[in-house]
């Protein structure tokens, strides 16, 4: 065992990249849930974003256009969910699950000609001077532009929800749709916009997977990332900055687990008879999420101000 080979800086850089698809999907879902809608179709929207982004990047040679297409793909898929749940008043849980099934299928169909194709690579944004600062340069200035965009998006969502009138209205709709309706706000339109935003974000996250993190297209490549994004929203207690923390936690545990294996640490524990299987380590973020949820829920006043009260409930518009 040699833990000295685990470079904390590399660990951090690795986890930031691993967390980015989760970050996009989770921040989008946060806005959706803040408007009182629970969309469980994140996995489906992510994978559709992944293939739309990949296919466009291959066809046009431009990763930037790929990201735009990824967002558009996720957005279009989310609107199916939006129309179903907002106009046709279908159950959100069931519709979201159906959306995932549909998204996994349609992405595989679109993706058939793109298996084994290489995508145009994205240039890493080496910020001159800054990225050359020892340690700090690598820690903060060595990523591709999409990672910075992700963090900027978190800031924007935070600002939007906290300081803008529209953000206030969105939260009001999520809190009590009947009250918001009687005040004259269009609950359906606001929720539809939130759902579309969430779809676009999930699509971006998927596109980041297929264009930057892996980068390639394979069927089912999201491998559950959309579900983790749902967990992160809960972990965050519906606070944008905590989404960033949550994404880093979930990304970090994966990276840490791999590092501990490669350095021989897990092996060493096992040789002592401790059942240190990688699976147990992989469980920890979910357990931490539950613990966080318990803590914030137990404190009644905090929970009320944050968890959208109308989450998952159907708004019929008949008052």
Partner 1 sequence: MRLVNTFAAAALATGLASAAFAQDPTKVGFIYVGPVGDFGWTYEHDQGRLAVIEEFGDAVETTFVESVPEGADAERVLRQMAQSGHDLIFTTSFGYMNQTMNVAKQFPDVKFEHATGYQRADNVSTYSARFYEGRHVIGLIAGGMTESNIVGYIGSFPIPEVIRGINSAYLAAKSVNPDVQFKVVWSNTWFDPALEADAAKTLIEQGADVLMQHTDSTAPMTIAEEEGIIAFGQASDQSSFGPNAQMTAIMDDWAPYYVSRVQAVMDGTWESTDTWGGIDSGMVAFADFSDKIPADLAEQAKAAADAIAAGELHPFTGPINKQDGSPWLAEGETADDGTLLGMNFYVEGIEGVIPN
Partner 2 sequence: MLRLEPRTETKTLIQALAPAAAVLITMVVGGLLFAALGKNPFEAIHTIFIAPLFDPYSRTELLIKASPLILIALGLSFGFRAGIWNIGAEGQYVMGGLAGSAVALAFWNVEGAWLLPLMAVAGIAGGAAWAMIPAFLKIRFNANEILVSLMLVYVATLFLSAMVSGPLRDPDGFNFPQSRLFHDSARLPILMEGTRVHVGIIVTMVAVLAAQIFLTRHLFGFNVRLLGQAPRAAAFSGVNAKRLTVICLGLSGAMAGLAGLFEVAGPIGQLQPSLPVGYGFTAIIVAFLGRLSPVGILFAGMVMALTYIGGETAQFALGIPSAAISVFQGLLLFILLAVDLLTRYRVRFVRRGEV
Lookup result for tokens 């040699």? 2
Please report whether residue 209 would count as binding partner 1 according to CB under 8 A. Answer: yes
Quick one: 308 exposed, middle or buried, by C-beta within 10 A (0-12, 13-18, 19+)? buried
From the list 32, 24, 23, the residue with the least C-alpha distance to 170 is 32
Return the structure tokens found at 190: 């606001």
List the single partner that 185 binds among partner 1, partner 2, none, CB under 5 to 8 Å by kind: none
**Binding partner at 254 among partner 1, partner 2, none, C-beta below 5 to 8 Å by kind:** partner 1
Residue 126, CB-side half-sphere exposure with 13 Å CA sphere: 6
C-alpha 199/C-alpha 150 separation (Å) is 15
- At which residue do the structure tokens 């106009």 appear? 87
Least distance in angstroms from the C-beta of 146 to partner 2: 26
Quick one: 208 or 235, whose CB is closer to partner 2? 235
Query: In the complex, what is the shortest distance from the CB of residue 112 to partner 2, in angstroms, rounded to a whole number?
Result: 7
Of these, 91, 164, 182, 270, which contacts partner 1 (CB under 8 A)? 270
- Tokens at 167, concatenated: 């953000």
Residue 20: which of 211, 306, 257, 238 has the closest Cα? 211
Measured CA to CA, the distance from residue 73 to residue 189 in angstroms comes to 20
Contact 24, 146 (CB under 8 A): no
Q: Which residues bind partner 2 (CB under 8 A)?
A: 38, 40, 80, 84, 88-91, 93-95, 97-99, 101-109, 112, 219, 224, 227, 230-231, 234, 275, 277, 279-280, 282-283, 286-287, 289-290, 293-294, 297-298, 300, 303, 307, 312, 316-318
Q: Does 108 bind partner 1 (CB under 8 A)?
A: yes
* Minimum distance of partner 2 from residue 65's CB (angstroms): 25
Residues that bind partner 1 (CB under 8 A): 5-7, 10-11, 14, 18, 21, 108, 111-112, 115-118, 121, 209, 213-216, 218-223, 225, 254-255, 258-259, 261-264, 266-268, 270-271, 277-279
């Amino acid at each position: 065992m040699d833990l000295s080979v685990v470079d904390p800086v590399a660990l951090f850089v690795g986890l930031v990249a691993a967390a980015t698809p989760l970050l996009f999907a989770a921040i989008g879902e946060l806005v959706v849930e803040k408007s009182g809608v629970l969309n469980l179709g994140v996995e489906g929207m992510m994978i559709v974003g992944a293939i739309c982004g990949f296919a466009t990047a291959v066809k046009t040679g431009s990763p930037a256009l790929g990201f735009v297409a990824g967002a558009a793909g996720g957005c279009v898929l989310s609107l199916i969910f939006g129309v179903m749940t907002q106009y046709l008043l279908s159950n959100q849980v069931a519709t979201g699950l159906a959306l995932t099934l549909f998204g996994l299928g349609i992405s595989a169909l679109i993706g058939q000609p793109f298996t084994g194709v290489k995508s145009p690579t994205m240039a890493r944004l080496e910020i001159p001077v800054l990225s050359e600062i020892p340690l700090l340069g690598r820690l903060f200035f060595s990523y591709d532009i999409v990672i910075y965009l992700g963090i900027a998006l978190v800031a924007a969502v935070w600002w939007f929800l906290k300081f803008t009138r529209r953000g206030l209205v969105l939260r009001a709709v999520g809190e009590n749709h009947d009250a918001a309706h009687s005040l004259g706000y269009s609950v359906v339109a606001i929720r539809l916009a939130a759902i579309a935003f969430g779809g676009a974000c999930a699509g971006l996250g998927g596109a980041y997977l297929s264009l930057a993190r892996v980068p390639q297209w394979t069927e089912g490549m999201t491998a559950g990332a959309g579900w983790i994004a749902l967990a992160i929203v809960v972990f965050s207690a519906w606070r944008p900055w905590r989404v960033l923390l949550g994404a880093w936690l979930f990304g970090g545990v994966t990276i840490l687990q791999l590092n501990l294996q490669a350095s021989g640490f897990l092996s060493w524990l096992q040789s002592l008879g401790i059942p240190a299987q990688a699976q147990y380590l992989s469980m920890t973020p979910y357990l931490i999420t539950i613990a966080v949820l318990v803590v914030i829920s137990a404190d009644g006043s905090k929970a009320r101000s944050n968890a959208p009260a109308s989450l998952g409930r159907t708004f019929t518009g008949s008052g």
